[in-house]
Amino acid sequence: MPLERTYANNRILVTGGAGFIGSHLCEKLLAEGAEVICVDNYFTGSRRNIAHLLSNPLFEAMRHDVTFPLYVEVDAIFNLACPASPIHYQRDPVQTTKTSVHGAINMLGLAKRLGARIFQASTSEVYGDPLVHPQPEEYWGNVNPIGIRSCYDEGKRCAETLFFDYWRQHQLPIKVARIFNTYGPRMQPGDGRVVSSFIVQALKGDPITVFGDGRQTRSFCYVDDLVEAIAKLMLTDETVTGPINVGNSSEFTIRELAEKIIKFTDSRSQLVFKPSPEDDPKQRRPELAKAKALLDWEPKVALDEGLKETIAYFRRTLELI
């Protein structure tokens, strides 16, 4: 049976493989002996993220949009394709919803044809602006279905529905992870996410833009920890479907994050406060009991350590721009 506790000698499809998280996942799978097909339409992904992998004979990069069917032969599928930052997913909200929904339908159809295991990268955004804190997987969320973030939030919620209906109706082996705020090298400088935005502003000496009063909270997971978790989830037995929260349970205010970044960059940037965007969550922190119990996993990289690695990456990146 493929994927029995190992990726070695298996062919794995990663959609969104040239993206921030996807490129790190491709690296990990190759390091564990898998053959990797990376699919991306480069709407937010970048060939620069996978350039160092192109010479590997076990790696193949394919330009493709998952809203169209794909016909390949693989043992397992990681479905990560979808713009994940508000700036990007609000640029073309109809396409964002189509990527989540049509993309899920096409990848589930491929998995069904092949009898392959399939992973869905869902998101903490399915909880919306939560009324329960921290957020357990059993919480149904508090989501605006017609707001400016709905293309992403509801698209991901619908994708989860499709995955669980394929599991119930077709006994398809599925894995669903709800990914909380993740950061690290290969984030895009202009993606509008709080970590990348603050770092770029601090390195340039520009004012750091804090939306709201800065007291809203987030938990930040370093990308290496995140990839370790989803790789472990895919190798669990078929009784483990998820959804499983994956993230870091250490909680910080946005103001605390900004002050750490100013300190680590030795920046003279000052904080500038602006009104909160529509439907911006006031707090976000995962309940990780399931991840610890089912995956024997918990994050290892502290925020200070991860920020220093990420800042070093952005220093190099900004020198090239």
- List active site positions: 152
Residue 206 DSSP one-character state: P
Q: Measured between alpha carbons, how far is residue 93 from residues 88, 200, 297, 319 in Å?
A: 9, 26, 34, 32
Kindly provide the b/e burial profile for residues 252-268, where b requires at least 16 CB atoms within 10 angstroms of the residue's own CB. bbbbebbbbbbebbebe
Q: Which residues pair with 209 in a beta bridge?
A: 272
* Number of Cβ atoms within 10 Å of the Cβ of 115: 12
d(C-alpha 42, C-alpha 60), whole Å: 15
What tokens does 6 get? Answer: 């190992």
Q: Measured between alpha carbons, how far is residue 296 from residues 117, 124, 176, 245, 288 in Å?
A: 20, 20, 16, 13, 11
Listed residue (279, 69, 15, 286) closest to 154, CA to CA: 279
State whether residue 210 is helix, strand or coil: strand
